[in-house]
Amino acid sequence: MGHYGTANSVALKLANITKDTPDPPGGTIDRYPDGTPTGVLKESAQSLVVRLIPEFSSVQIQEGMVKMMEEFNKEGMTAVKDPVIDLERWKAYQNLSGQDQFTIRVFGLWKAGETLKDAEELIDRVASFTKPYLTTGNDRLISGGIKIFLDGSGGARTAWLHKEWNKNYRDKDTGNYGYPVIDPEIFQKQVKMFHDAGLHISIHAIGDKAIDWTVDTYAQVLQENPIHGLRHGIIHCVIPTDHAIEVMAELQETHKAGYPESQPPFMWWIGDTYAGNFGPDRSLRLNPFKTFLDKGVQWGSGSDFPVTPFEARFGLWASVVRKTVRGIYGSTPFGLDESVDIHNTLRSYTIWNAHQLFLEDKIGSIEVGKYADIAIWSKDLYTVSPEEIKNSKCLMTMFGGKIVHFDQKSGIEMPE
């Protein structure tokens, strides 16, 4: 489930959603002026309809996982962070993990829930085997840590901001600052509980106010209990304030914590929506990768699939050119001051990502003693134009030294 969805009149009727239905905590039912639901459901309001949809069977889930691994391999990808796992999904991964079809390293984050009881029960259930800093010998399937949702999305204008959202780039969405999707006091207590249990945490925070709350909460729990090396992350970290970036730099230096986990394709695939909603001033601070570099902040990059296409080459390209897909507010409404070169964006997709999987000593670079997780591309990404990065093709992918994708038209001669 994403951050907003649409339901037709039949679905609204089945869910008993009317003009008298109140907004659930942490969610919004979009309405016409007379209160009638439009069919757009944001954040937790989606669950009113989603709960009526039949779930996939365990067989369907595993078939989907195998298909996605094949597609990832075709794009030179050999590792993924699955940010919302539950027991059913974990069991599906376990059932596949010993098979030859399991050709991706999976680092899973357990969803924290919204209450302190949820957190207590999750700690009891997973803490004993969720220590990625202590290797289990299984580097294909890792129970990595906990994910907490703090705010909403940029597309739905529900992410938590210091100032009102924009509409249509220059207009104001008067009175809308977004909101936290969890009680902020419970959020802070959950972070402390998971941290004190020695668990890696990564927090969904898109808006600048949510990001400030995230890094300040990390700083507080680390001051009270300075556990070094849990590598707590900030998922998305779209428009951090100067204050947040300074705190991230300090946390990374002193505690190995506070790492942005960004999605460069946001600027491309949903960039026109983002620019229209964040407005001309905030858009210039979106994904501030150059400032990260200048301040010594290390980050990882990904796609947030299915929000954007998963292919890493699109994110590599977007980190350099910062163009939107349609150019509604100009082709580069996010500016180019925060652009980074291909060398650094490649690091964010390889060795810096491996760091956030606690596997930087085993993957993320081609070195003696590491797993041979290697992709061969049709072009030299260091020398081609940015547009050619986007259109590059993966010719061969190796996973642990085994070929898991090979383009028969590549021209590569394989030994007999």
User: What is the reported pLDDT for 78?
Assistant: 98
Tracing tokens 């993320």 back to the chain, one arrives at 364
Q: Is 282 exposed, middle or buried (CB count within 10 Å of its CB: 0-12, 13-18, 19+)?
A: buried
Cα separations (Å) of 11 from 34, 53, 409?
Answer: 20, 10, 48
Sheet containing 79-85: give its strands across. Answer: 79-85, 105-111, 141-149, 201-205, 233-236, 259-262, 300-301
The residues of the chain scoring below 70 in pLDDT are: 1-2, 415-416
Tracing tokens 């529900």 back to the chain, one arrives at 158
User: What is the reported pLDDT for 44?
Assistant: 84
User: What is the reported pLDDT for 69?
Assistant: 98
Whole-angstrom Cα distance, residue 76 to residue 318?
18
How confident is the model over 73-82, as pLDDT tens digits? Answer: 999 999 999 9
User: What is the reported pLDDT for 416?
Assistant: 62
At a CB cut-off of 8 Å and minimum separation 6, what does 60 contact?
none
Check if the beta carbon of residue 290 is closer than 8 Å to that of residue 339: yes
User: What is the reported pLDDT for 346?
Assistant: 98
Q: Is 402 exposed, middle or buried (CB count within 10 Å of its CB: 0-12, 13-18, 19+)?
A: exposed
- Give all domains of the chain, ordered by start, each with its CATH number: 4-50 (no CATH), 58-356 (3.20.20.140)
Provide the terminal-to-terminal Cα distance of the chain, rounded to the nearest Å: 47
